Amino acid sequence: MKYDVVILGAGAAGLMCALTAGQRGLRVLVLERANKPGKKILMSGGGKCNFTNLEVTPEHYISANPHFVKSPLNQYSQWDFIVLVEEYGIDYFEKEIDGIKTGQLFCRESSKAILSMLLRECEQMGVEIRTRVDITSVEHHGRFRLQIAEGSMTEARSLVVATGGLSVPSLGGSGFGYKIAEQFGHLIVPQSPALVPYTFTGELKTFMETLSGIAIPATVGVGQRAFHGGILFTHRGLSGPAVLQSSSYWRPGDAISLDLLPGRAMVEELSRAKNIHSRCHLKTVLSHYLPKQLVARLEKLWWPEVAGKSLAEWSGKHLREIAERLHDWRIKPAATEGYRTAEVTLGGVDTRELSSQTMESQKQPRLYFIGEVVDVTGHLGGYNFQWAWSSGFVAGKAL
């Protein structure tokens, strides 16, 4: 079978590219390894799909070539996708944390609405989608030739690689797209899991494990960057929005800094508590700020030798040290949970060898790379979906 374009991958970027190319009257075939399209879309945002963000800027993306995202994001912005969502009557809401709006947009009902919208658009444009397809080889002899495991062959004038990254292999993540890129002479920026929980060993693992399920607002610092949001103690370590975001900047061997009480001046507050409630124990005072279980574990970890003493018996220096540690607790993760639970893959096809106007390869004409397979990684909060919509659109428009 011959097509104008074959798209490898029926995820967010692949489907957006397919419907955009279909609108131009091209004959489009989408090939997907998994048993159904859009599996990551369905799982995202706790099943409600954080499909974009009201505040999208290049600063929300990580890439070895940070200016690359500007053109795709300008050509197809968050407002363009919101228009499409509203045309389909999909009800959505902006997430708030402690009464503060975050800019993150979620489906009110289910992420199925976003996938259904994309599939409906593809169907209306005559896009053909096949699932459970394994590609054994890709060649180019004037046209792209794709050998399928079952024995058939498909040809196309253009090929779009939208295979995603290595994250969540159970949902179809693989390194196939990188292999195609290398086959055609592209450089690959080294990959690592991103937006992923931390794991710990030894005493810290036991500490986290006993607090599994407890969540608090906190600030997580990595190097010169700090991210505020929820953190969640798990049986393996730390998760939660602030942790996931920081993981994109963390490297093995780095320490992270936890501010367990952001926005509070605990040196002053504990000093005042000593003056007013001198007979109280420190854990009693801290339990007004933090969950009792967490305070009990911190007591065993930080001040076991004075656990039975009242605040009156604490030296001002020792009390100040505890207060400062509450704002800057430095711990070193052993690792992350890896690609198994990572939301995205950091690194990928080097953008210096792609056109930011079209996503086309500068090594091989009519070969395109879009979405997560490219060295562009968004922050947590709908930015990776917006990159999928934007990169998919510009490629689909250029085919």
3-state secondary structure string across 108-152: CCCCHHHHHHHHHHHHHCCCEEECCCCEEEEEECCCEEEEECCCC
Same domain, 108 and 253: no
Is residue 86 pLDDT above 80, yes or no?
yes
Q: Which domain holds residue 377?
A: 2-193+345-398
Q: Is the pTM of this model over 0.75?
A: yes
Mean pLDDT, rounded, of the chain: 96
Indicate the number of domains in the chain: 2
Count CB-CB contacts under 10 A for residue 192: 20
Give the domain-ending residue among 311, 336, 361: 336
Give the domain-ending residue among 304, 319, 336: 336
Same domain, 209 and 173: no
What mean pLDDT is predicted for residues 69-80?
A: 98
Tens digits of residue pLDDT in 145-166: 999 988 899 999 999 999 999 9
**C-alpha 302: how far from its chain's center?**
33
Give the domain-ending residue among 283, 303, 336: 336
pLDDT at 172: 80
Using DSSP bridges, classify how beta strands 128-130 and 28-31 pair: parallel, antiparallel or unpaired: parallel
Tens digits of residue pLDDT in 285-319: 999 999 999 999 999 999 999 988 999 999 999 99
Nearest-angstrom CA–CA distance, 393 and 50: 19
Same domain, 372 and 303: no
pLDDT band at 372 (very low <50, low <70, confident <90, very high): very high
Instruction: Give the bridge partners for 3, in sequence order.
Output: 156
Is residue 2 pLDDT above 90, yes or no?
no
Same domain, 382 and 263: no
pLDDT at 151: 83
Nearest-angstrom CA–CA distance, 20 and 28: 10
Q: Is 154 helix (H, G, I), strand (E, B) or coil?
A: strand
Q: What is the CATH number of the domain that holds 313?
A: 2.40.30.10
Same domain, 39 and 152: yes
Same domain, 27 and 149: yes
Same domain, 9 and 22: yes
Tens digits of residue pLDDT in 19-35: 999 999 999 999 999 99
Find the helix or strand (DSSP H, E) in which 98 lies.
none
Nearest-angstrom CA–CA distance, 323 and 265: 8
Same domain, 161 and 269: no
pLDDT at 362: 98
Is residue 109 pLDDT above 80, yes or no?
yes
Q: How far apart are the first and last CA of the chain?
A: 19
Q: What is the CATH number of the domain that holds 90?
A: 3.50.50.60
pLDDT at 169: 85
Is residue 1 pLDDT above 80, yes or no?
no
Same domain, 219 and 90: no
Same domain, 314 and 385: no
Is residue 97 pLDDT above 90, yes or no?
no
Same domain, 189 and 332: no
Percent of the chain with pLDDT over 70: 100
What mean pLDDT is predicted for residues 128-133?
A: 96
Same domain, 211 and 125: no
pLDDT at 100: 87
pLDDT band at 239 (very low <50, low <70, confident <90, very high): very high
pLDDT band at 98 (very low <50, low <70, confident <90, very high): confident
Tens digits of residue pLDDT in 173-188: 889 999 999 999 999 9
Please state the φ and ψ torsions of residue 124, each to the nearest 5 degrees: -65, -30
